[in-house]
Structure 1
Amino acid sequence: MKFYAGLDVSLAETAICIVDENGVIYREGTAVSHPDDIALWLSKVEHSLERIGLEAGATAAWLFNGLREHGYHMVCIDPRKLRAATKMMPVKNDRNDARAIASCMRVGWYSVVHIKSDVSQELRMLLANRRTLKIKAIDIENEIRGTLKVFGLKLSGRVTQGPYERMIRELIEDVPRLAAMVQPMLIARRALREQSAVLEKMLLGEVRKDETCRRLMTIPGVGAITAITYVGTIDDPDRFQRSRDVGAHLGLTPGKYASGEVDRTLPITKCGDVIMRSTLYQAALALLTRTRKL
């Protein structure tokens, strides 16, 4: 008889459920959300497990790879499809979610989510951290502008990043109380910009070492950030059977609603990676507006 397991992962504990091929619950319990602790719990099961499923999430890659090292057949599933199966539950808790995941493993009603390699995960985190620092710096700049406007002080014309701090200090030098309030904001902004530049230098170093990134940058409108974001998102090109599958994976293909006599083509699905999609949009905009014709 075959057995299947479902893991519902939370930060502290993971609910575990094992069902047999007939859907009968064989064993349930909880373990600390660590690959070694979960593997220890599973090792006490007398039968081998056909498949073990867990939802895609923040710690999914870590648990997935850790349990695979222990020899288990792991499957990472799309939580959106599982949500459709669990939304009718009268009682929703971790134990019932683990039961639902185990049942999906048994009947095969799930969509597999690709677990990226460690290299791609590192690139994604590097891009995300750089983006966070830049957004926070922009937020501080906007807050400073808003503070100055309250006192009737405005930055005139287009202000580039270089003279920004100098121009702010010139505006507030005659208002000591305002200068005391804005000074910490300027220091924080400068620190964010400096550390963002550190991460950007690391990204550019990765781009220089990657042959695929350099090849992608030969495309008009594609720069270093677009190239490395694309490489980190695709990770393993062999997981796509056809090149046009990439567009659907990124949510760039139109949706469709067809029922009875109604047949409508919808806007793009937007079901893929948001950062990759927005980066490609910026690359397309640069191609249309800034790239010179050859």
Structure 2
Amino acid sequence: MRYYAGLDVSLEETAICIVDEAGKVIRELRATSEADALIETLSATGLGFERIGLEACSLSSWLHQGLTRAGLPALCIETRAAKAAMGAMPNKTDRNDARGLAQIIRTGWYRAVHVKSAPCRSARALLGARRTMLNKQRDIENAVRAVLREVGLELASVDAAISDIVEPLLAVLDTMARQIEQLTKRVLDAVRVEPICRRLMTVPGVGPLTALASRSTVDQPERFRRSRDVGAHLGLTPRRYQSGETDIQGRISRCGDELARTALYEAAHTLLTRCQKWSTLKAWGMRVAQRRGMAKARVAVARKLAVILHRMWSNEAEFRWSKAPAPTAA
């Protein structure tokens, strides 16, 4: 008899439902949302599990790593697919969610999510922390400008009350600038010792941030069957709705890693507007800009960059500035 388990993970406690191959509920349990506690609870049942599924969330990478190390067949499933499959349930509870996950795992109506390696998760956290700091810095700068507008942006006329408001904000900005500089230095240090990132940075427009974002997002290039699948994975391909005689192609889906997608978009903008050296990629992007506008050209070049970076990584190839083959030695 084969058994399947669904784990509905929350911050403190996880609801567990175990079903057999016919879909009958065998056991319903609860355990602390820690890898050791889940391993102990599942092992105590004495059942041989075919698959153990948990929905992708902030804790799933850590729990998945612990369960797989213990020899349990754990896998993460895509959140959107799980939500769509369980949307017919009238009542949403942790118990019902665990039951739904168990049935999804049993029937195979799920899409497995790649769990990234620890170095890639660390790099992703570094880039996310830096972006958060930059966003907060911009918010505080806007707050300072809003306060100074009360006096017409004339610093000489700022009274004591306004100074008492602005000075703490300026002190926070000074601290944040130093911390952002340290985070940026950590990014540069990580890229400097990473051969893959250094290879990706040979592409025009791709800097350390874009290279590290692509590296941490893809993690393992062989998990993509084709290089062009990376563009769809990052949400850089158009949505499509087709039903009967209706066939609508919309804007890009914007699914996947927003950090990597934004970095590639900025790299595309740099390539089209700042890079002076000619390349086939830039020429193609400028032709798209002439036909459809610069905004769509940036998206198209960002998608093309995602494909090129993956192909360079997979084939250990160098960036080709033109389509002409490299000259062979005599």
1:39 aligns with 2:16: no
How much has 1:176 moved relative to structure 2? 2.1
Q: Would the aligned equivalents of 1:173 and 1:179 in 2 still touch at CA under 8 Å?
A: no
1:154-169 to 2 correspondence within 5 Å?
none
Tell me, in whole angstroms, the C-alpha distance in 1 between the residues paired with 2:187 and 2:266: 18
Q: Would the aligned equivalents of 1:17 and 1:27 in 2 still touch at CA under 8 Å?
A: yes
Q: Deviations over 1:1-45 (max 9, x none)?
A: 110000000000000000000000000010000000011110111
1:198 aligns with 2:182: yes
1:259 aligns with 2:205: no
Q: Tell me which residue corresponds to 1:244.
A: 228
Q: Would the aligned equivalents of 1:252 and 1:277 in 2 still touch at CA under 8 Å?
A: yes
Q: Tell me which residue corresponds to 2:59.
A: 59
Counterpart of 1:175, as a letter, is D
Task: Tell me whether 30-39 or 271-280 shows the greater mean CA deviation.
Answer: 271-280
Q: Equivalent of 2:173, from 174, 178, 189?
A: 189
How much has 1:172 moved relative to structure 2? 5.3
How much has 1:89 moved relative to structure 2? 1.1
Q: Would the aligned equivalents of 2:151 and 2:158 in 1 still touch at CA under 8 Å?
A: no
Tell me, in whole angstroms, the C-alpha distance in 1 between the residues paired with 2:198 and 2:68: 33
1:231 aligns with 2:215: yes
Q: Tell me which residue corresponds to 2:21.
A: 21
Instruction: Give the root-mean-square deviation of aligned CA atoms.
Output: 1.2
1:98 aligns with 2:98: yes
Q: Tell me which residue corresponds to 1:109.
A: 109
How much has 1:137 moved relative to structure 2? 1.1
How much has 1:175 moved relative to structure 2? 2.1
How much has 1:244 moved relative to structure 2? 1.0
How much has 1:174 moved relative to structure 2? 5.1
Q: Tell me which residue corresponds to 1:11.
A: 11
Relative to the length of structure 1, the TM-score reads 0.92
Tell me, in whole angstroms, the C-alpha distance in 2 between the residues paired with 1:225 and 1:25: 48
Q: Would the aligned equivalents of 2:210 and 2:264 in 1 still touch at CA under 8 Å?
A: yes
Distance 1:212 1:172, change over 3 A: farther
Q: Deviations over 1:212-266 (max 9, x none)?
A: 1111111111111111111011111011111111111111122222211222222
Tell me, in whole angstroms, the C-alpha distance in 1 between the residues paired with 2:78 and 2:188: 32
Tell me, in whole angstroms, the C-alpha distance in 1 between the residues paired with 2:98 and 2:14: 9
Q: Deviations over 1:82-126 (max 9, x none)?
A: 111212211110010000110011000000110000000000000
Q: Would the aligned equivalents of 1:251 and 1:269 in 2 still touch at CA under 8 Å?
A: yes
Relative to the length of structure 2, the TM-score reads 0.82
How much has 1:267 moved relative to structure 2? 2.0
Distance 1:174 1:13, change over 3 A: closer
Structure 1 residues not aligned, in runs of 5+: 155-170
How much has 1:197 moved relative to structure 2? 0.6
Number of residue pairs the alignment of both structures matches: 278
How much has 1:76 moved relative to structure 2? 0.2
Q: Tell me which residue corresponds to 1:163.
A: none
Counterpart of 1:108, as a letter, is G
Tell me, in whole angstroms, the C-alpha distance in 2 between the residues paired with 1:176 and 1:77: 57
1:87 aligns with 2:71: no
Task: Tell me whether 6-15 or 216-225 shows the greater mean CA deviation.
Answer: 216-225
How much has 1:173 moved relative to structure 2? 7.4
How much has 1:81 moved relative to structure 2? 0.6
- Aligned-residue identity in percent: 49
